[in-house]
Chain A
Amino acid sequence: MSGATLPKYEPGDRVRVSSEEPEGHCRTPRYVQGRQGTVRKLHGSFRNPESLAYGGTGLPRQPLYLVEFGQPELWKDYKGAAGDRLWIDLYQHWLEPLNDRRISQ
């Protein structure tokens, strides 16, 4: 009922964002769902917004990570520079491990 889920990822780990859309409110925008990124930082553990939104306790707390994506990999026809990045905060239960080496750069 209480406590926090233990962190599974470290900075540098490659991850894929889940594309299984849950019903109702979530804080993972669709444009990163199914995409591959790199964990940059563990922010700490926070109550799960998908439970809080409906009056739940938000427990167990979920580890929250700063995850980096290459902009040209997120958007077809990205108009900026090749080195542009998107950083976003994602909860652990949305992340799946990727064991392959970095593809980009």
Chain B
Amino acid sequence: MSTHDGHDHDHGDGEPHPGMAGDASLGYYGTRYRAIEALLIEKGVCTLSEINAAAARQETRTPMDGARMIAHAWVDPEFKQRFISDPLAAMGELGYRLPDNVVDTPKITVLENDEDVHHLVVCTLCSCYPGTLLGAPPDWYKSLAYRSRAVKDPRGVMHEFGLDLADEIEVRVQDSTADLRYIVMPKRPAGTEDMSQEQLAQLITRDSMIGVSEALEPDRSPAA
């Protein structure tokens, strides 16, 4: 909600960072961010352009990257197996390249939903998120309300996103507490047999890859 995790983010006021001295519009976390940034530069840990490049890099990813990969996995069972066993290598197959200066990318794990199990991803301790595939997380994902309720009352949370699952389906919450990042592969909806990969990708929302919802039904797709 108030976590400031990147430099070049829109602050909602249309203004670029005006510098940290006495600027109340930055708020507590903005001011803290600017102080840490200034210290990192002053101590020679990194340069401002490196920080800006890292923020820009994060913004090159969007949920559509993950959606395209899952749509591909839906139509190509062999690709699906490769995607599940090594998502980053599968990304490469589809032409995605991580920038050379990205090191130590957290390992991404695909959680496949089926008729029996529905996965929901949360990071209760902070806001770990598969940014390599989905870009920056939505604000609600970082909120204390989501982080505490997703583990304690996952069905209540999903209900608020419009999803009510039968009790026979196991709701499996994955708390990403450590070195792995998780993305949900939603079930392919019925009635999508004749759709192209591009059309299928439109059904795969960011929320469905976090697990708070399912993929859209074909008639609810914005592309339909």
Contact = CB atoms under 8 A, between A and B. Distances in A.
A51 to B, nearest CB: 14
Given A43-B180, A49-B178, A89-B179, A84 B154 contact: yes
Contacts of A78: 152
Contact residues of A: prevailing secondary structure: mixed
A88 B175 contact: yes
B179 A84 contact: no
A81 B176 contact: no
Nearest to A49: B178
A7 B154 CA distance: 32
Given A28-B177, A43-B180, A64-B179, A80 B125 contact: no
B94 to A, nearest CB: 25
B151 A84 contact: no
Given A29-B125, A64-B179, A80 B154 contact: yes
B-side interface mostly: mixed
Contact of B176 (A71, A74, A89): A89
Interface string A46-63: 100100000000000000
B167 A81 contact: yes
A9 interface: no
A75 to B, nearest CB: 6
Interface of A: 27-29, 31, 43, 46, 49, 64, 71, 74-75, 78-91
